[in-house]
Amino acid sequence: MTTDAFKKNIIPLQSHLQILAERMLGDATDAEDAVQEVFMHLWESRDKLDKVVNIKAYVMQATRARCIDIIRSKGHSKEFASSDVDATLNLHDLTEEISEEVELTERRSAMLHSMLDDLPEKQRQLIRLRYLEEKEIAEIEKNMKMTSSNIYTTISRAIQTLKTKLKNEYAR
């Protein structure tokens, strides 16, 4: 898996993984550590990730397994083992819930990208440069041969158009 593919497919899952880990571990700091450890492992083995069919499920399972390891290593195995059935059901529900959140995020992302594609060319270019590629205004000025004032105005119009489209979409 390339660096760009890793950034595109795995990094956006961080918030979902954080939620999963926090619910399993009951501690935000431990959850953050667990997610970072999973990301480090995934990064180190990114060459093998191209073979994974469902990357989201794989990453969520890796996070779940890491959380279970943490629970066991902290001596919570008795508590965990005593409610194995409940924990399994809760984890199943949680995994389902997170999968639904991932799907919703993907639908919203696809809708936003579709709306971006409908923008006039200049607005679309500026939005992509500024927000998706995170370019500085000075750099955009050089590349697009526009003044900063024109850039801000064009971006403002694009954002206003997107807001209107989003309001109309959610008003349905």
Which pLDDT does position 85 carry in this prediction?
43
**Residues 82 and 124 sit within 8 Å (Cβ to Cβ):** no
Tokens of 82: 């005593």
Tokens of 65: 């397994």
What number is the average pLDDT over the span 149-158?
96
What number is the average pLDDT over the span 44-53?
82
Which pLDDT does position 94 carry in this prediction?
62
Of residues 140 and 108, the one with the higher pLDDT is 140
Which pLDDT does position 75 carry in this prediction?
67
* CATH node for 3-112: 1.10.1740
CA nearest to 10, candidates 92, 45, 112, 122? 45
Which pLDDT does position 127 carry in this prediction?
92
pLDDT, tens digit, for every residue of 1-39?
788 888 888 888 888 899 888 888 888 898 999 999 999
Which pLDDT does position 81 carry in this prediction?
46
pLDDT, tens digit, for every residue of 80-135?
444 444 555 555 666 667 677 777 777 887 888 899 999 999 999 999 899 888 89
- CA 151 → CA 69, 144, 162, 164, distances in Å? 50, 9, 16, 20
Residues in the chain: 172
CA 61 to chain centre: 16
Work out the percent of the chain whose per-residue pLDDT is above 90. Answer: 31
